[in-house]
Amino acid sequence: MVLMLNEINEQPEVLKRCMEKNKDSVKKLAEEIRKRNIEWIYIAARGTSDHAGIYGKYIIESELGIPVALAAPSVFTLYQKSVNFKNGMVIGISQSGKAADVLEVIKSAKSQGALTVSITNFPDSPMAQEANFHLDLSAGLEKSVAATKTFTSQMLVLALLVAELSGNDELKKELSLVPENISHILSTADTIKNKVERYRFISECFVLSRGMNYAIALESALKIQETTYTRAKAFATSDFQHGPIAMVDKNIPVIVYAPDGPSLKDTEAMIDKLAELGIELIVVSNKRSVLDKGTCSLSIPHTANDIISPFYNAVVAQLFACNLSLAKGLNPDSPRMLSKVTITK
């Protein structure tokens, strides 16, 4: 079995461990945020970690009402400028904790007295050592180049923090069920593998979703790009209508993440529009009426909570990319021109 698939399968246990490991850290961080009366948050990350940051932006703003900005790390490294970080909190996200540009953002913020938080898989990493608080992914060594278990762990610690700050007991309960529900998805892995075979010759595709699941559309496209070399491009369904939809073609499949919840109405409208055009649709949903609209359909566990469904969609996205890579005769563990740790400045 390839490493990527092994690490996808580890996620139920990894997420359980991540919850337990960060229980006290999340509470202490929440106390400090309340104490400082944090008014805004700034998230710095690259690649997959940036997609976790986008998820974080959505859930923090939606549940807590705190505005969140996504960093442009080049401001600090390429242009050697500084940003006023007073009265705010800066979160740096990096699997390795070695992202040089993200580290510079944390250093600048800390020097100005801002509350700084690192989210990494290595407590002894430069970012973890520099920040005021560290949330430990506790994912174990991730050997495959394509991040899987560390991505869902990054989302989880952000969701745990939001649940703690909001005092949302229902969200806490749903988060506790995520590992078990991911196990259910993994039990259907052979079904996903068999359906993916249909797409082994594709050279391009679009990936769409809306709201909190927009981060999963981005991550899904990235996984397809790096493991299969397919030209996958992600859009929010809302943005897709502002120009990119002109590119649709019957020879280009469209993957749509359409879980039940607040984002479903708009996403389903896009599915209907594309179906009328005769587009090959790969629909990922937990709503039977929506799944029936796809040329190919992939089911996820039931939830109407857009904070929760991204975890399930992420695992389906990982399985889809990994199996598509294998169907194309490629090795998803060793994508060309890529390494596990990418240091950008």
What integer is the mean pLDDT of 53-71? 97
CATH assignment of the domain containing 18: 3.40.50.10490
Residues of the chain with pLDDT > 70, as a percent, come to: 97
Quote the domain boundaries for residue 239: 188-327
Final residue before a domain boundary, out of 140, 159, 179: 179
Whether the per-residue pLDDT at 276 is higher than 50: the answer is yes
Query: Is 295 part of any domain?
Result: yes
Is residue 102 within 8 A of residue 46, CB to CB? The reply is yes
Whether the per-residue pLDDT at 264 is higher than 90: the answer is yes
Residues contacting 124, CB < 8 A, separation 6+ = none
Pair 299, 166 in one domain: no
pLDDT digits (tens, 9 = 90+) for 192-204: 999 999 999 999 9
Final residue before a domain boundary, out of 160, 179, 198: 179
The whole-number pLDDT of residue 79 equals 87
Query: Is 90 part of any domain?
Result: yes
pLDDT digits (tens, 9 = 90+) for 197-230: 999 999 999 999 999 999 999 999 999 999 999 9
Query: Is 342 part of any domain?
Result: no
Report which of 146, 253, 149, 153 is spatially closest to residue 208, judged by C-alpha positions. 253
Is residue 54 within 8 A of residue 68, CB to CB? The reply is no
Pair 94, 201 in one domain: no
Pair 204, 309 in one domain: yes
pLDDT band of 78, cuts 50, 70, 90: confident
Pair 151, 208 in one domain: no
What integer is the mean pLDDT of 75-81? 82
Query: Is 248 part of any domain?
Result: yes
Give the Cα separation of 157 and 151 in Å (integer). Answer: 10
Pair 173, 194 in one domain: no
- pTM exceeds 0.85: yes
Pair 145, 216 in one domain: no
pLDDT digits (tens, 9 = 90+) for 34-54: 999 999 999 999 999 999 999
